[in-house]
């Protein structure tokens, strides 16, 4: 503020320069408020700091809420046995297609009998 008097800049120029360098979200909130934009630098500064503080306070609360929800979901999944889901896959496969479940339990070294060879048609000319 002390440089403004040395440069001869007025309040309107300081407000404009300060406003132009604010983040877009703060500019949007200042522009859309019911009152007009402040014309005094000190008022503009106070309003911008208030909006900024409210933004970061809300962001922190949202972050804490998301973190708590994430921890709740993780603890909930461990309580209900996350590792037991692999057994349910085999059970669901056997319900859907019993032959595939039975074939998966067979010894892999045993071979199924070969299919019969197709019969040749007699050559008739």
Q: What is the pLDDT of residues 14-35, one digit of tens each?
A: 888 899 999 999 999 998 888 8
Return the half-sphere exposure (C-beta side, CA atoms, 13 A cut-off) of residue 110: 7
Residues ≥6 apart with Cβ < 8 Å to 55: 25, 26
The domain spans of the chain are 2-77
Over residues 33-61, the pLDDT tens digits come to 888 888 888 999 999 999 999 988 988 89
Q: What is the pTM of this model?
A: 0.48
Percentage above 70 pLDDT, the chain:
58
Given a cut of 50, whether residue 118 has pLDDT beyond it is yes
**Residue 104's pLDDT is what?**
46
Classify 8 in phi/psi space as left (phi over 0), alpha (psi -120 to 50) or beta: left
């Amino acid at each position: 503020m002390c440089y403004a008097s040395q440069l001869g800049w007025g309040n309107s120029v300081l407000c404009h320069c300060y406003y132009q360098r604010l983040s877009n979200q703060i500019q949007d909130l200042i522009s859309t408020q019911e009152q007009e934009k402040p014309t005094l630098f000190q008022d503009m500064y106070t309003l911008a700091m208030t909006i900024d503080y409210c933004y970061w306070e809300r962001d922190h609360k949202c972050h804490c809420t998301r973190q708590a929800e994430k921890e709740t979901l993780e603890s909930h999944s461990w309580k209900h046995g996350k590792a037991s889901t692999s057994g349910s896959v085999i059970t669901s496969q056997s319900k859907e297609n019993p032959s595939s479940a039975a074939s998966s339990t067979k010894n892999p070294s045993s071979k199924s009998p070969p299919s019969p060879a197709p019969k040749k048609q007699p050559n008739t000319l």
